[in-house]
Amino acid sequence: MWHDLKRHFAGPLIAAAVVGLGAAGAHAAPRQGGTLTWIVTPEPASLIPLTNTAGGNAEIGPKVVEGLLTYDTDLNPKPLLATAWEVAKDGLQYRFSLRPGVKWHDGKDFTSADVAFSILTLKQSHPRGRSTFANVVEVRTPDPLTAVIVLSKPAPYLLTALAGAESPIVPKHLYEGTHVAANPRNSAPVGTGPFVFKEFVKGSHVVLERNPDYWDKGKPHLDKVIVRFIPDAVARAAALESGTAQLGGQAIPLSDVKRFSELPDLRVDSVNWAYVSNHQQLIFNLDTPILQNKAVRKAISQAIDVNALNKVVWYGYGTVSPAAIGKANTKYHNAGIQYFPVDTKQAEAALDAAGLKRGADGTRFKLRLLFNPFQERRAADFVRQSLARIGVDAVIESYDFATYTTKAYTERAFDITLEALANVFDPTVGVQRVFWSKNFKIGLPFSNAAHYANPEVDRLLEAASVEVDEAKRKALFLEFQQIVHDDVPSVEFGANPSITIRSKAVQNYAPTGEGLRGSFADLSLEP
Amino acid sequence: MPDPARLLRALIHPLRPRREASPTTDFLPGSESQGHVLWRLLSHSPQALFGVAVLALVAGTALTAGWWYPDDPLAMVAPPLLWPGEDPAFPLGSDSLGRDVAAGLVHGAKVSLTVGLVAAILSLGIGLTVGGLGGFFGGALDDALVRVTELFQTVPSFLFVIVLVAIGKPSVTVIVTAIGLASWPVIARLVRAEFRSLRETEFVLAARSLGYGPARLILREILPNALPPVIVTTSVLVATAILIESALSFLGMGDPNMVSWGSMIGDGRDQLRTAWFLTALPGGAILLTVLALNLVGDALNDRFNPRLRGLR
Amino acid sequence: MPHLARLGGVLRRTAWQAVPTVIGIVVLNFCLLQLLPGDAADVIAAESGSATVEGMAALRAHFGLDLPALNQLLGYLNALAHLDLGVSPRHNLPVTSLIASRLGATLLLMGTALGLALLAGILFGAVMAVTVGRWPDRILSVAALLFYSTPSFWLGLMAIVLFAVKLGWLPTGGNATIDSGLAGWAWAADRARHLALPALAMAGFFVAIFSRLTRAAMLEVRGQDFVRTAEAKGLGPFAVTVRHVLRNALIPVTTVAGMQVGTLLGGSVVIEVVFSWPGLGRLALESVLSRDYHVLLGILFLSSLLVIAANLLVDLLHAWLDPRIQVR
């Protein structure tokens, strides 16, 4: 079950090129009508990513509530609720012109007041919003169709943070004066999106219906979207194979992918959605005395063949990245970094030299190996066996979410942990938290688990977080990746597989960089 | 109201009749004719013979596991997902990480049997204590213990095991303890009923009149006579514990550092469609062992049921 | 009306006897849940993939997790006395409505499975008893044991592959076709099709128990005086079997059926996961994993009520089956 509750919030760039997701090609107009049954895993407790992004709500939400912007596969912004935008030279003001004539599903007008309210709410309540919008001083609303975000310091990642899956714009008139986290609208959302919420039966399904008054005339093409929650992976595969469901992201066991790609009525897409940008890594606990020695960490890293891990654990569908910023992020990934050569002899020699000789039973020392339930448990098995070859006995401790975060981040009762800290849409948001010494915070999940502290890295990360000049920012991130690689506080694995299964009738389901977290406005079922 | 003791015996092992006097002629450890009777029983019941044979095979495999496969059964030694028979070095194939399925099955026998036995012994210990004390002394102590037993029995036991494993961690020790803690009430109720009926029998009353203390009465007089149905029940508990462990592994709560049949099923479930042998082989091993335990339990039970003896 | 009055008395007494058990269960479970590492805020943070210190503090305050444990327990017991099971902060819903929305599905599944198991178990058991020691007896007992010995999740997954994917006869999971707009018979048929596989997979385990019980009880009753009398009166063997032997054998079978309600609820966890059945078992498992204590406590509370109610029902049934038995 833990295995299944896992949520893969990213996808590797196997084929960064758009693999048949898009273009119904030269076809005439997309077919109108039809019902799509879509499997989302795991079931979320609420339906929009406002106060938490747990479960599949970042996938379901954007069908009903929209963001100001949407993004292409290189994360360049495109208009959505905002039709135009302008960033001040000093990076301290963002002016958005809003789309006129947009109505909430309950008939009220969408205005700049909703934008201001939503941004400030996100700053208050969203799990990442507190840091993303930390520099926001105020949101001005000079007129109903203009919103101006005013910052105290530049935030170069801000323009990338405005997708519906990350920063949904919610109706002020339904949220104002309520306890945002307890607002029933979180599970029965009212938005501006292409689909209108109809029902949510916990443990079973969600029904969304076509919004006939959607601002983008002629869209959406579907009459209805049924979201189904199926906890068991084999049962999900059965639902897709039998045609009960037509679309599912991360739905089937990886071992089934090859078989599915040979089924005539189904299509398998392996795409790394840039906006999600999965990334997994092995993190050393630098408070463990043995692991304070860089030579030991390097030796351990030389025992782990990440390419073999990709082949065995990820069935070859992952995208290996030795750099801390994965390949999905085309702007900042440092392609010059290579893994230390896999060489158990060299590793054993290094451990011998460090005074960690094999004992009578053939082992040198014992380590506690934890893994985030988002990781495949098989990755932990793989690492354990890899380390056994150089005489390191890594004992796997398998926990559910709550115990894992407590053990790793509160009690710090681990030596090695396999983490799933996604790069997200920008390194300042997704990567800085892992390596920034000021983010070593006991009790805070997904902070600096290694307890890594390097003043030079801190300087680079802090500079990049306010650098408005794109080229300079890139240089800062490239150098940061090199230093972190040389210091080995972690072994970067790269992006775990992101597999989408669809019926061949499903077209244009992910035309944007957000992938399945887009709006489905363009999705059509072609005969 | 039906006699609760009889019902409980029927629940555990339906064929057990009400105990009629003369306990000394019943099964007692070391009684002479025991071997003969057992043999007669086996030779007349093909099911029991089958059960004993399977159990002997499984126990033998478990004991010699280290001799067959001296290396860590979790080691990745083969190309992943070899089918059985594809490579003679790995006769039963390999799993998705390239671990030898045959080695896993052999070592898994050890872990699965241990899980079953230790969990059963644990619940036997708690059940004997709680049921025995309550049944022998009666009164307020009995009332209190009955309440506690009822309390544990109303909690869905599998859910209880899940909570206990989540509190500890998925290791064989924790799993065994959790199963033991969740399954003792059945034994306690059975033992209590046995003790209540036995303490009024003539031979116990006679021993009591000789001035023996409660410890001797319990340990020397009552317990040996209450044991047979309990032993039969234990065979079912062992079987149930093995099944519970496999269900835990299915939910991802198995011990990641040990191979058990349950954990093999848990690891192989994702490949159910592509490499069904990964779940079918350990599943078959569980099925056979559990079946064998039940068949042997039945046979033992028949042995204690004088009324049916003539029928077989 | 003396009957009704007596029944009322029985119900009242049962209710009073249940009170200490129920309080014990709540306290025991509450203490157990306190031992679980991590809390609901950790889970939300973990599932969200990000967190901030302030955000975690706000979550804990919202969930009431910043209060001392004893305060939480007393608050819970106090609310319980007013039949209030509290609120699930995770789902943002009162626990009673959350449970109510799942209870129907679980009761339907459990009831059907129990009914099927009883029906098949009694039938098999009767045949086994009549042919005791001969081949039908042996074959049926091994067959029943086979179902008992097969891990139910494996049986369930295999059934999905065979009947839903390969043959296409039955749906792969869920409890109804979603948003089908069906009514009347079509609606009932749709429900039945969804129910078939999970109910059978769940019943398989219990058929063995019930058939063996029936067999044993029938063999035992068969030797008793009243049966010999009935035979002497010239009743045919079939009539004797059904009217006298089976009727009396039903007493232990129903007793055990009542005792199995708790087991059934625990077993439903696995079946509901395999068949995506929107029931209480899955909700219970999810609430363990998400540390949603109020929901779990509510489910455990309800299940103890169910067990108590089932046992009461069995007592009443016994009084009907055998008039000599007095309702307690």
State how far the alpha carbon of A293 is from the alpha carbons of A283, A350, A405, A487, in Å.
14, 11, 25, 10
Residues in Cβ contact with A469 at an 8 Å cutoff, skipping those fewer than 6 apart: none
Answer whether residue B164 shows pLDDT above 80. yes
- What is the three-class DSSP state of A7? coil
Contact of A230 with chain C, judged by CB distance below 8 Å, is answered with: yes
Residue A56's Cβ-count burial label (10 Å; 0-12, 13-18, 19+) is: buried
Residue A35's Cβ-count burial label (10 Å; 0-12, 13-18, 19+) is: middle
Size of interface B-C (CB pairs under 8 A): 161
Q: Which residue of A has its CA nearest to B250?
A: A1
Q: Percent of chain A scored above 70 by pLDDT?
A: 95
Q: Taking the alpha carbons of C234, C238, C239, C244 in that order, is the dihedral positive or negative?
A: positive
Instruction: Please state the φ and ψ torsions of residue A91, each to the nearest 5 degrees.
Output: 75, 15
Answer whether residue C222 shows pLDDT above 80. no
CA distance C80 to chain B (A): 18
Give the whole-angstrom CA distance, residue A275 versus residue A512: 9
Whether C289 and A402 lie within 8 Å, measured CB to CB: yes
Give the whole-angstrom CA distance, residue A19 versus residue A39: 20
Whether B250 and C150 lie within 8 Å, measured CB to CB: no
Out of B20-24, C6-10, C99-103, least confident range: B20-24
- A179-216 as b/e, with b when 16 or more CB fall inside 10 Å? ebbebebbbebbbbbbbbbeebbbbbbbbbbbbeebbe
Chain B CB contacts of A4 under 8 Å are: 252
Whether C149 and B287 lie within 8 Å, measured CB to CB: yes
Q: Which residue of A has its CA nearest to B79?
A: A312
Interface probe with C: pick from A43, A125, A195, A232, most Cβ of C within 10 Å: A232
User: If you write DSSP's letter for every residue of B52-77 in order, what string do you get?
Assistant: HHHHHHHHHHHHTHHHH--S-TTSB-
Residues 9-28 of A with CB under 8 A from C: 9
- The dihedral region occupied by A372, where left means phi > 0, alpha psi between -120 and 50, and beta the remainder, is beta
- What is the three-class DSSP state of C88? strand
Contact of B267 with chain A, judged by CB distance below 8 Å, is answered with: yes
- C163-184 as b/e, with b when 16 or more CB fall inside 10 Å? bbbeeeebbbbbbbbbbeeeee
Residues 178-237 of B with CB under 8 A from C: none
Per the model's pLDDT, the better-predicted residue between B3 and A10 turns out to be B3
Residues 280-319 of A with CB under 8 A from B: 312-313
Contact of A385 with chain B, judged by CB distance below 8 Å, is answered with: yes
Whether C179 and A226 lie within 8 Å, measured CB to CB: yes
Residues A491 and A282 sit within 8 Å (Cβ to Cβ): yes
pLDDT tens, residue by residue, B266-312 = 888 788 888 888 988 998 999 999 889 888 887 777 666 544 433 33
Whether A401 and C43 lie within 8 Å, measured CB to CB: yes
Comparing C-alpha atoms, which of A229, A272, A283 is closest to residue A38? A229
Residues C198 and C271 sit within 8 Å (Cβ to Cβ): yes
Chain B CB contacts of A370 under 8 Å are: none
CA distance A303 to chain B (A): 14
Mean pLDDT in chain A? 90
A253, A313, A399: residue with CB nearest B271: A253
Residues C308 and C259 sit within 8 Å (Cβ to Cβ): no
Comparing C-alpha atoms, which of A452, A520, A449 is closest to residue A489? A452
Give the whole-angstrom CA distance, residue C290 versus residue C65: 14
Task: Give the pLDDT of residue C181.
Answer: 77
Give the whole-angstrom CA distance, residue B179 versus residue B186: 13
Q: What is the CA radius of gyration of chain A?
A: 23
Answer whether residue A201 shows pLDDT above 80. yes
The tokens describing A502, both together, are 């669809």
State how far the alpha carbon of B53 is from the alpha carbons of A250, A317, B56, C108, in Å.
45, 46, 5, 41
Chain A CB contacts of C93 under 8 Å are: 187
Q: Which residue of C has its CA nearest to B149?
A: C21
pLDDT tens, residue by residue, C174-188 = 888 877 777 788 888
Q: Which residue of C has its CA nearest to A198?
A: C179
Name residue, tokens 């067990």: C307
Chain A CB contacts of B267 under 8 Å are: 378
**What is the pLDDT averaged over residues A501-519?**
93
DSSP summary character for residue A23: -
For residue A77, what are the β-bridge partners?
Answer: A71
Q: Which residue of B has its CA nearest to C221?
A: B17
Give the whole-angstrom CA distance, residue C252 versus residue C210: 9
For residue A224, what are the β-bridge partners?
Answer: A35, A209
For residue A195, what are the β-bridge partners?
Answer: A210
Q: Which residue of A has its CA nearest to C54?
A: A130
Residues A209 and A198 sit within 8 Å (Cβ to Cβ): yes
CA distance B160 to chain A (A): 16
Q: Which helix (H) or strand (E) holds A248?
A: strand A247-249
Instruction: Please state the φ and ψ torsions of residue A361, each to the nearest 5 degrees.
Output: -85, 5
Residues 358-417 of A with CB under 8 A from C: 372-374, 399-407
Contact of B17 with chain C, judged by CB distance below 8 Å, is answered with: yes
Answer whether residue A146 shows pLDDT above 80. yes
CA angle (C60, C63, C67) in 5-degree steps:
70
Q: Which residue of B has its CA nearest to C305?
A: B154
Size of interface A-C (CB pairs under 8 A): 188
Residues A490 and A284 sit within 8 Å (Cβ to Cβ): yes
Per the model's pLDDT, the better-predicted residue between B7 and B161 turns out to be B161
Answer whether residue C45 shows pLDDT above 90. no
Give the whole-angstrom CA distance, residue B168 versus residue B173: 9
CA distance C92 to chain B (A): 23
Chain B CB contacts of C145 under 8 Å are: 291, 294-295
Task: Give the pLDDT of residue A494.
Answer: 95
Q: Which helix (H) or strand (E) holds A294?
A: helix A294-303
Answer whether residue B169 shows pLDDT above 70. yes
pTM over 0.80: yes
Residues A498 and A250 sit within 8 Å (Cβ to Cβ): yes
Q: How many CB atoms lie within 10 A of CB A396?
A: 20
Size of interface A-B (CB pairs under 8 A): 75
